[in-house]
C-alpha cells in the first residue's frame, strides 16, 4: 500500500509539482517558483498540503514533464490535449506490485501563475476485510513565480 501511494505521489510530483514546467506551447518563465499541493485520499482523515520552492532554469522551463514521467517506463499517455496555456491529459500507470492506476488531470500556466488538478485511481488488491477495491487520490495545486533564482 505504501509503495502504491508513494508511486502515485511521485508521479504527481514529477508531472506537476517537481519543476512546475511543461513544454509544448506553455509560456513558462524560468525563476524561483513556489507551488502548493493539496492531496486528499480515503486513507487520510484530512487533506495534506505541501509547499515547495524551487529554482526553474531556462532548460527545465522547456522540458516536457509528461515525457519525463513516461521515460520512467511506468506510465503511458492515453490522451493529451493542449491549447491556450493548458494541457489536459489522461495516463495509465503500473505500480511496483503490478497495481494498475489511471489518472486524468490538467495543468495550466499563465504568466507568473500556474494551477492544475489530477485524480489517480488505483486498483487495490483484495483486502481480507472486504474493503474497497479502488482508491482515488485527488491533488490540486497552485504555483506562482516569486522572481529570479537566488
Question: What is the DSSP code (8-state) at residue 85?
Answer: T
In a domain, 150, yes or no: no
Q: Minimal CA–CA distance to 138: which of 1, 40, 12?
A: 40
| Inside any domain, residue 148 | no
Q: What is the pLDDT of residue 7?
A: 43
* Higher-scoring residue by pLDDT: 5, 111: 111
- 21-52 pLDDT tens trace: 344 456 678 999 999 999 999 888 899 999 99
What pLDDT score was predicted for residue 71?
A: 63
Q: Which domain holds residue 37?
A: 2-138
* pTM strictly above 0.85: no
| Residue 131 binned pLDDT confidence (cut-offs 50, 70, 90) | low
* Higher per-residue pLDDT: 135 or 17: 135
User: CB–CB of 146/53 below 8 Å?
Assistant: yes
- Asked, for residue 146, whether it belongs to a domain, the answer is no
Q: Is residue 20 domain-resident?
A: yes
Q: Is residue 108 part of a domain?
A: yes
Within a domain: residue 149? no
Average of per-residue pLDDT values in the chain? 78
Q: Are 94 and 110 in contact (CB under 8 A)?
A: no
> Domain total for the chain?
1
In a domain, 35, yes or no: yes
> For the segment 98-117, what is each residue's pLDDT rounded down to a tens digit?
778 899 999 898 889 999 99
pLDDT at 18: 38
Residue 147, domain member (yes or no): no
Amino acid at each position: 500500500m505504501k509503495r502504491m501511494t508513494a508511486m502515485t505521489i511521485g508521479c504527481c510530483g514529477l508531472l506537476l509539482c517537481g519543476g512546475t514546467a511543461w513544454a509544448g506551447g506553455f509560456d513558462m518563465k524560468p525563476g524561483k517558483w513556489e507551488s502548493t499541493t493539496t492531496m486528499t485520499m480515503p486513507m487520510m482523515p484530512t487533506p495534506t498540503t505541501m509547499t515547495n520552492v524551487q529554482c526553474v532554469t531556462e532548460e527545465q522551463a522547456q522540458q516536457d514533464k509528461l515525457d519525463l514521467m513516461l521515460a520512467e517506463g511506468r506510465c503511458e499517455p492515453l490522451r493529451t490535449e493542449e491549447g491556450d496555456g493548458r494541457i489536459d491529459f489522461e495516463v495509465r500507470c503500473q505500480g511496483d506490485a503490478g497495481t494498475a492506476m489511471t489518472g486524468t488531470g490538467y495543468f495550466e500556466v499563465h504568466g507568473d501563475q500556474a494551477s492544475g488538478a489530477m485524480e489517480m485511481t488505483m486498483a487495490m488488491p483484495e483486502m481480507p476485510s472486504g474493503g474497497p477495491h479502488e482508491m482515488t487520490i485527488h491533488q490540486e495545486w497552485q504555483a506562482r513565480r516569486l522572481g529570479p533564482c537566488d
